[in-house]
Every structure is written in structure tokens, then in C-alpha cells.
Amino acid sequence: MKKIIVGSAIGTAGLLVLCSLQTPPEAAAEKLVIAVQPTSTPEQLTAQATELEQFLERETGMAVEIRFPTNYAGVVEALRFGHAQAAFMSAWPAALAGQQAGAEIVLAEVREVTIGSEKTEAPYYYSYWVVPRESPVQKLSDLQGKRAAFPNPLSTSGYVAPLARMVELKLIDKGKQEADPKNFFGDVLFSGGYAQAWAALRGGQADVSIIAGDVPESLYREVLASTRVIETQGPIPSHAVVFSRNFEGAARQKLLDALLKLNEPGKRELMRKFVSGLFVRFEPTDTEKHLGSLNNYLKLTGLSFSEKK
């Protein structure tokens, strides 16, 4: 059975999901479908999904299929139409699944992160504005008209939370539009990732950048060894397991129990393929608890999630 779902913008993804998933709602009691927001190419993950499917089938006594929409819109629409009962999602798309599909967060990913100088395990982390050690800058307000390197405009830790901090500090004003760092900085660079943003700062193409506690520890330590932190934002929520709004009864509890059994240390490397490379375990939570800080950042900034087609 084909497992790769082709999605586009939210406006058309519903039709595409209905055509591609090929799992009628009445079959939900016989088969569990889990949609995964890809952490790698869908083709690679599809080939690796068998082990996880077989584990969940043994634990639930039900047929399980893991599918990989090519973007978050496909995951959201699968949940909305009942063609997937559960999904593995990062925080911002999970928030959209709640808003647009009435989906519910039931488990949070506990991951290996670094908070300040301490390595720990938590369902949240922080990010930090950093400047070169020799920079005369002491606080964010000193950087008006200067150059900033952000990792990605879709990054919760690298853009949403830092921008919300700027609004909190009254350095920019959302007004009736989305908050825009270009209203404060003289030049804004979206470098493509944390390593690239660090390279821009280190190479003199930016005066300030951001690092987060969920990047590889070696990168985090390298950046902090050569910079000064001038501002902090967080907590920032990790990935989550989301259940569709109509997924109830015995099947729901069976899947929830089975997912918690993936906390066994021997399953860690398997789950790092499907959740994040820092996965340690799942812990029970709810939407309000897990996404409270993110929803506040989105309210402050007015940002909307927009993927490339």
C-alpha cells in the first residue's frame, strides 16, 4: 500500500488526503493509522517503518500503518477527516492541528537538551541571543539597525520565541500585522539552520544570532564558548503525539499504552528516526500544558505557519 501522501496548502490538502489515504473512517476500529511529520525523506522513513508498525500491532492487537505526508498540511487534514487516528508532530504544527482539526496532544517528547550549561532531559528547552565575545553589545536594544542571522522562519526556538521576546521588550510592535524583525534590524538573514547562523556570526556577516538548547551538544558548546548570551527565551515545547478528536474508546487507550512502552531504552534509536534525533521517551501531557508558552509566543507575534509548496 502506498504510504507517501502528497499534500500542498491547507486549502487543497483535504482533498489530497481523502484521495491518498484510502482508509475509510469506518475502518478506524480495525486499523490504526499514524501520520508522521517527516524528520527525513518520506521514502527513507517508509522503508524503516515496519519495525515500529509490528511493535504497535503486537501491543494493540490491531493493524497499524504509519504514513508520511510530505508536509504538515497533510498531517493536519488526515487528523481532521479521521483518516489518521494519531500523529507525531513538532510543536508549531501540533498547535495548528488543535486549531484547525480539533486534535489533542496526549504525549510530549522528553529529549536530551542543554539548558544553560547543564545537559538534561526535558519536554522543553530554551534558546539564546548571542553576540561575539568581543562585541560591545550588552543587550538586544543595542542592536537596532544592526545585522541579525536567524536559522529559519519556521523555527519555534530560532524565530517564533526570539521574535516574541523582542515584542515583550517593546523593540518591535506587532500592530495589525505579523511582527517583523526588519522593523528593528538593519538586515535580517535566514541562514537555513543553527550551524549556518553560527557560521554567519563567526564570519562577520551578522552582529547577532541565536542558538538553542536542542541542537547537537557539540555545536551548542562551540557557540557558547565563543559568544556571550544577551537574551534568553523559553520554555519552548518539544515534539508531541497528537490524537484526532474522534479517536476514543478502547482503541485509543491501547495505542496510548503501546506508545508509552516505546520508552524502553532499546526503542530509543528507533524513535529517533520518527520523532527527533534527541528522543528519550514520551510522557503524558495535554495541549494546554505542553503548548502554553508557544501559544503565547504566537499571540505576541501574530505569526502564521506557511510551508513551501
pLDDT tens, residue by residue, 154-186: 899 999 999 999 999 999 988 778 999 999 999
Whether the CA torsion 77, 79, 83, 86 is positive or negative: it is: positive
d(CA 278, CA 271): 9
What is the per-residue DSSP string for 83-119? S-SEEEE-HHHHHHHHHHH--EEEEEEEEEEEETTEE
Spatial distance between the Cα atoms of 110 and 120, rounded to a whole number of angstroms: 10
The residues facing 87 across adjacent strands are 35, 242
Residue showing cell 526570539:
162
Model pTM?
0.85
Phi, psi of 265 (to 5 degrees): -50, -35
Each residue's pLDDT, cut to its tens digit, for the chain (309 residues) gives: 334 333 333 333 332 333 344 444 434 457 999 999 866 676 777 778 999 999 999 999 999 999 998 888 899 999 999 999 999 999 999 999 999 999 999 999 999 999 999 999 999 999 999 999 999 999 999 999 999 999 999 899 999 999 999 999 999 988 778 999 999 999 999 999 999 999 999 999 999 999 999 999 999 999 999 999 999 999 999 999 999 999 999 999 999 999 999 999 999 999 998 999 999 999 999 999 999 999 999 999 999 887 654
Q: CA 303, 284, 111, 124 torsion: positive or negative? A: positive
Are 105 and 242 contacting, i.e. CB atoms less than 8 angstroms apart?
Answer: yes
Contact 82, 246 (CB under 8 A): yes
Go through the domains of the chain in sequence order and give each one's CATH number: 4-111+239-291 (3.40.190.10), 124-236 (3.40.190.10)
CA atoms within 13 A on the CB side of 169: 19
Crossing angle between the packed helical segments 161-168 and 287-301, to the nearest 10 degrees: 60
